[in-house]
Structure 1
Amino acid sequence: MNFAGHHILGIDQFERSDVDHIFAVADQMRPYAQRQRMTTVLEGAILGSMFFEPSTRTRISFGSAFNLLGGHVRETTGFESTAIAKGESLYDTARVLSGYSDVIVMRHPEAGSVGEFASASRVPVINGGDGANEHPSQALLDLYTIRSELAGRGRDIDGLRIAMVGDLRFGRTVHSLSRLLGRFNDVSVRLVSPAELKMPEGLVEELRMAGHEVIETDQLEQGIANVDIVYSTRIQEERFDTQEDADLYRGRFRLNQSIYTAFCEPNTVIMHPLPRDSRAGAQELDEDLNDDPNLAIFRQSDNGVVLRMALFALILGVEDQVDACSRPVNWTTERRF
């Protein structure tokens, strides 16, 4: 794939070689994300950040990634703060805002909406999540995290054993991750969910067509045994018709330290795209796991910055110029990585 000047809308755009290339560039971004050096390679460039659904990690990590490359960020959050609330179309919004920006990141509650916006944009658009459809940058950072966690054990993504747990029907992160795993070999996938929140059948079939073993179960203990990764997701309550409907499933697949110790292999890595629901009655990842070294959720969120830096560098065609525009940082910061 030629990344320069192109949209990032879904996993179907990528071949395995593209994923490997993104990861190699992400590795080069790590000194900048960890504040060991700074670069001004995107000095003067503007990111248009348009988030029409709530977001913490995705919105801020995209903005931080662009800032760390030397660029500027202009944010829009919520429909009420835009002319869309006055009836403006996505087409008109795209035509206008792409005149103000060099690249745009967009999140929207409707599946396909970011693609519709991108078709009218004059600059590259990255899908930051479109309804229950896809979240490509999250899938990339998740797989980058899996690669990093397994590397310390002399393992690679090929041969991965992973359990995806929770709301697999509405969870766009697991949809994109499943599509991405189809680019690799000999993956075993456990899909652990209530019957009503199963992974869409088309995605299950894609995994099987890729030659992967897929086991569907509604038994948490069975599903998380003998895997390398447990990838937990929250109940996507915003996709349900009513709060009462969502509450039927809250807390059904709760992973805590005692369940982990009893049923998981000793070094099973625990992941979650966040936010995890820490309210009483939910706790899909219990807070008693916070001190477990195999809990990778914060390493995972840190990786969002390096991965998104890589995407910006590739899309704007500066991946080979980053180091030439760099220098050591000149401020004091606590060691946090």
Structure 2
Amino acid sequence: MDTKTDQQALLRDAMRILNMTRDAFSQRLGVTRRALDSWLLPGGSPEFRSMPEVVGRFVAEILDGLPARPPRPAAGAPAISCEGKPQLLTTGQLDLDTVNEVFRIADVMEPIAKRRKVTRVLEGAVLGNLFFEASTRTRMSFGTAFCRLGGSVVDTTGFTFSSMIKGESIYDTSRVVSGYVDALVVRHPELGSVAEFARATNLPVVNAGDGPGEHPSQALLDLYTIQREFSRIGKVIDGMHIAFVGDLKYGRTVHSLSKLLALHKGLKFSFVSPASLEMPEHLLEKLSVNGHVIEQTDDLAAGVRGADVLYATRIQKERFSSEAMEGYTPDFQVNRALVDAACKPETLVMHPLPRDSRDGANDLSTDLDRDPRLAIFRQTDNGIPVRMAIFAMLLGVENQVAHAMRDVTWRTPHPVGADDAVFEGED
């Protein structure tokens, strides 16, 4: 592995295992925060510094002195599995150790995702992207992640261009497509439909959204984003306050992320929505563990006050009739005035996207676009390394990537847009 990448992955993994912020970790190592930051910068940055060998040995000694971690799956066994198959269908199949392993591998993927390195570990493999529901970023993100690992992608979008419009069953579709590709990503508007696809095949399958059900890869990239952002500003996830705002009844991203967050300890969950769009009761019961505090309110300002993370969602108009929108007015818009008045200076503002950017929409306002607290584009960028990690683990190549990287041969672009906020300490 490239030593620059190696040191970044080691340091990030150590902070995650130790549950330490950058400030706390630098103190543990006996170095300045500035030195630690310089070791975590990308290799192309003029401020990047190589970590002294003695520090690397010290980090390894700290990790060796910790209680034994659960062993990683044996060679050939899927690191992510559901009912013995290499499939990611729900966050309920993940424990904290598996989540941290996904993030460790995502850290290794970062140089590839940022177009500094390339790899061909999935050369010859083909991904079937089956999207029976509209999608832009999720479909492209999965496709890009697979291609960055050296694979290729075939797509189908919507029922109109699918044999399902002719009455073909989910089982038949899954079985037929399994003869063409090496992995499947499926999005479908019906709850439980992706699990039906998975039962009909032994291929790796990823649930990219099943109606109002779940979206596990989105939850992983969201949690990865929170962890990385918190590391920069001196926070840890345990004990944080997160406010979910909007359509919580049908918002599958909220359902999945809240279940992953519940693996941590002592969180405060604020669920802010009109009564008609409240969080489902069965999910609230699952969150009543590990000392978490749960509150529900339809008062937007009160619900987000003091939150460490404000997670706004789009109203899922396609999933219910118009009468269910009662009480969901433009007053539910998350905008700069609300965030300034009710939130902390370092509150992290997130959204799974797409958002309704039209004037008067009850969604996340564009007047926050140049605010460094807005993490939505860093959030979407993080989807690439996280989904690369998922594919690598499902296809059993996670331990090959680090040794199969090489420098890119083209002029790599800087993806940050002209209007993006500059985030202090961005790496």
Counting only pairs closer than 5 Å after superposition, residues 288-299 of structure 1 correspond to structure 2 as: 288-299=367-378
The alignment's TM-score, normalised by the length of structure 2, stands at: 0.77
In structure 1, C-alpha distance between the alignment counterparts of 2:321 and 2:402, rounded to whole Å: 50
CA contact (8 A) 1:250 1:281 kept: no
Deviations 1:178-210, CA, capped at 9 Å, x for gaps: 111121111111110001100001111111134
Partner in structure 1 of residue 401 of structure 2:
322
Q: What is the distance in 2 between the residues matched to 1:256 and 1:214?
A: 24
2:354 alignment partner AA: P
- Please say if residues 52 and 77 of structure 1, whose CA atoms lie closer than 8 Å, have aligned partners that are also in contact: yes
> Does residue 100 in structure 1 map to residue 180 in structure 2?
yes
Pairing partner for 2:139 from 55, 59, 64:
59
* Higher RCO structure, 1 or 2 (CA under 8 Å, sep 6+): 1
Within 5 Å, give how 1:250-265 maps onto structure 2. Answer: 250-265=329-344
2:116–2:412 contact (8 Å) kept in structure 1:
no
**Residues of 2 paired with 1:318 and 1:20: CA distance?**
17
Shift of 1:326: 1.9
2:277 is aligned, of 190, 197, 202, to 197
Conserved 8 A contact 1:142-1:177: yes
| Per-residue deviation, 1:134 | 0.4
Q: Which residue of 1 aligns with 2:79?
A: 3
Q: 1:276 aligned to 2:355?
A: yes
Query: Contact 1:163–1:189 (CA<8 Å) still a contact in 2?
Result: yes
* Partner of residue 174 from structure 1, selected from 228, 238, 254: 254
**Number of the residue aligned with 1:187:** 267
Question: Following TM superposition, by how much is the alpha carbon of 1:99 offset from its aligned partner in structure 2, in angstroms?
Answer: 1.1
Give the deviation of 1:262 after TM superposition.
Answer: 1.1
Q: How much does 1:129 deviate?
A: 0.1
Which residue of structure 2 aligns with residue 312 of structure 1?
A: 391
Are the aligned partners of 2:277 and 2:324 in contact in 1 as well (CA < 8 Å)?
no
Work out the CA distance in 1 between the residues paired with 2:331 and 2:128.
39
In structure 2, distance between residues paired with 1:248 and 1:189: 21
Query: How many percent of aligned residue pairs carry the same amino acid?
Result: 53
Partner of 2:409, secondary structure, is coil
Aligned residues: CA RMSD: 1.4
The aligned counterpart of 1:49 is: 129
- Structure showing greater radius of gyration is 2
> Structure 1: how far apart are the matches of 2:180 and 2:207?
18
Alignment of 1:34-183 (within 5 A): 34-183=114-263
What is the distance in 1 between the residues matched to 2:341 and 2:234?
A: 25
CA offset at residue 283 of structure 1?
4.6
Partner of 1:18: 98
Q: Can you list the C-alpha shifts for 1:11-59, whole angstroms capped at 9, x where unaligned? A: 1101110001001011110000000100001000000000000001110
| 1:219-230 equivalent positions in 2, closer than 5 A | 219-230=299-310
Q: Secondary structure at the match of 2:270?
A: strand
Does the Cα contact within 8 Å between 1:193 and 1:217 map onto a contact in 2?
yes
**What is the SS of the residue equivalent to 2:156?**
strand
Q: Kindly provide the CA deviation profile for residues 238-259 of structure 1, in whole angstroms up to 9, marking residues without a partner as x.
A: 11124x6548625241111111
Residue ranges of structure 1 left out of the alignment (5+ in a row): none
Say if 1:9 and 1:114, in contact at 8 Å, map to a contact too.
yes
Structure 1, residues 108-165: CA drift from partner, whole Å, max 9, x if none? Answer: 0000000011000131110000000100000111100110110012222211210000
State yes or no: 1:287 paired with 2:363.
no
Corresponding residue of 1:302 = 381
The answer to whether residue 297 in structure 2 is matched with residue 217 in structure 1 is yes
Report the TM-score when normalising by structure 1.
0.97
Alignment deviations for residues 51-94 of structure 1 (CA, whole Å, 9 cap, x no partner) = 00000111000000000000000001011111111111110111
Length, aligned pairs only? 336
How far apart, CA to CA, are the structure 2 residues paired with 1:235 and 1:253? Answer: 11
Cα distance in structure 2, aligned partners of 1:247 and 1:68: 44
Displacement, 1:336? 2.5
3-state DSSP class of the match of 1:127? strand
Structure 1 segments of 4+ aligned residues over 6 angstroms from their partners: none
Q: 1:233 corresponds to which residue? A: 313
Long gaps (5+) in structure 2: 1-72, 417-427
What is the CA distance between 1:324 and its match in structure 2?
A: 2.4
Q: Provide the C-alpha distance between the structure 2 equivalents of 1:119 and 1:250, rounded to a whole number of angstroms.
A: 41
Residue 266 of structure 1 pairs with residue 325 of structure 2: no
Distance 1:336 1:101 in 2: 31
Residue 9 and residue 323 in structure 1: after superposition, are their counterparts in 2 closer, same or farther (change >3 A)?
same
Return the letter of the residue paired with 2:382. N
